[in-house]
Amino acid sequence: MTNQQIRESIRLGLPFFGVAANGDVLARYIPFGPVFKWQHHQMIPTYLQGNDLIWWLQASEEDDPAD
């Protein structure tokens, strides 16, 4: 999934599983449920949800020096 597809899934409350451009593995397993992030060999709920999480993804894209 692209970051745009991940953001749309978060915004619409759809289940998804994808890797963000910064390498983070993100998933939502049930509609409108929490978004999970792969960390330390397990999926844990992200600290940010909804629009805050979308903002964080956008900020991480802008801070990426590889592009």
* Residue 36 covered by a domain: yes
* Residue 33 covered by a domain: yes
As a whole number, mean pLDDT of residues 41-62 equals: 85
Q: What is the pLDDT of residue 65?
A: 60
Structure token digits, residue 3: 């970051």
Provide the domain count of the chain.
Answer: 1
Q: Which range of residues forms the domain containing residue 24? A: 3-62
* Residue 67 covered by a domain: no
- Contact assessment for residue 56 and residue 6, using Cβ atoms and an 8 Å cutoff: no
Helix axes 3-12, 50-63, angle to 10 degrees: 170
* Residue 51 covered by a domain: yes
Q: What is the pLDDT of residues 25-51, one digit of tens each?
A: 999 999 999 999 998 899 999 888 888
* Residue 19 covered by a domain: yes
* Residue 18 covered by a domain: yes
- Pick 59 or 16 by higher pLDDT: 16
As a whole number, mean pLDDT of residues 53-61 equals: 82
* Residue 11 covered by a domain: yes
